[in-house]
Chains A and B, each alone.
Chain A
Amino acid sequence: GDSVTQMEGPVTLSEEAFLTINCTYTATGYPSLFWYVQYPGEGLQLLLKATKADDKGSNKGFEATYRKETTSFHLEKGSVQVSDSAVYFCALRSPDNAGNMLTFGGGTRLMVKP
């Protein structure tokens, strides 16, 4: 079955540091890939997505590239801010998935210190 594996957190960085959160997946076919962000006490918000190999999703300074050869979708940001502190979830949706549901990784908590 489909699965998503993320690096465990928490990840603690100083403001303006470079961020990488690793995400790898297992799926049949060509899934769509997503990063969601969850701020404390809130629901998930879509951060970025990519729907085919070599696509790069980007938003608010975050980027992730769909790498089919390594089945990865690592999240990066060049300079994090305190306001980026949140939990980040990598997810996929398989085209073979009749239910259209998302499969999530376990989440990575990011803490950015001033």
Chain B
Amino acid sequence: NAGVMQNPRHLVRRRGQEARLRCSPMKGHSHVYWYRQLPEEGLKFMVYLQKENIIDESGMPKERFSAEFPKEGPSILRIQQVVRGDSAAYFCASSTSMSGGAGEQFFGPGTRLTVL
């Protein structure tokens, strides 16, 4: 059973370009979470999605960032017009459900975005 897959593992963009980060959850998982880790900091929640629905985007910057989890295919985190402050590691996690005490989140290896 493959784990959470993210690609690319490393992404370099120039200021003003777009970054697209992909996440394929574990088989059987219908819940996806995106977190951002700035250098030398902990992970900060960005967005929580289920298939075709955004459940909670309270941690997502209001501008330039968007996320989707279509019926078919991976979840996509999209950053438009990237700036140097977007340089970070972006982690995706997936779980089976949000039932209390269960629904353990399994993390992918992350995408390290560098904005030049």
User: Which A residues contact B (CB, under 8 angstroms)?
Assistant: 4, 32, 36, 41-46, 49, 51-52, 89, 95, 98-107
* Most chain A beta-carbon contacts within 10 A, residue among B41, B101, B108: B101
Residues of B within 8 A of A51 (CB): 100-101
Q: Which of A43, A52, A99 contacts B48 (CB 8 A)?
A: A99
A-B contact count (CB 8 A): 65
Distance between Cα atoms of A32 and B100 in the complex (Å): 8
A86 to chain B, nearest CB (A): 14
Residues of B within 8 A of A52 (CB): 101
A12 to chain B, nearest CB (A): 17
Contact A99 B45 (CB under 8 A): yes
Q: B74 interface residue, CB < 8 Å from A? A: no
Q: Given contacts A43-B109, A45-B107, A46-B104, are A89 and B43 in contact (CB under 8 A)? A: yes
Residues of A within 8 A of B103 (CB): 100
For residue A94, which residue of chain B has the nearest CB? Answer: B100
Contact A100 B41 (CB under 8 A): no
Residues of A within 8 A of B98 (CB): 100
Residues of B within 8 A of A103 (CB): 45
A-B contacts, 11 listed (Cβ < 8 Å) = A41-B109, A43-B109, A44-B91, A46-B104, A89-B42, A99-B45, A100-B33, A101-B48, A102-B35, A104-B35, A106-B42
Contacts of B71-114 to chain A: CB distance below 8 A: 91, 93, 95, 98, 100-101, 103-110
How many B residues touch A, CB cutoff 8 Å?
29
Residues of B within 8 A of A44 (CB): 43, 91, 93, 107
B6-34 to A contact mask, C-beta < 8 Å, 1/0:
10000000000000000000000001010
Q: Which of B45, B55, B91 contacts A43 (CB 8 A)?
A: B91
Q: Given contacts A42-B109, A106-B42, are A101 and B59 in contact (CB under 8 A)? A: yes
Distance between Cα atoms of A44 and B37 in the complex (Å): 11
Q: Given contacts A43-B108, A99-B55, are A104 and B42 in contact (CB under 8 A)? A: yes
Residues of A within 8 A of B91 (CB): 43-44
For residue B99, which residue of chain A has the nearest CB? Answer: A100
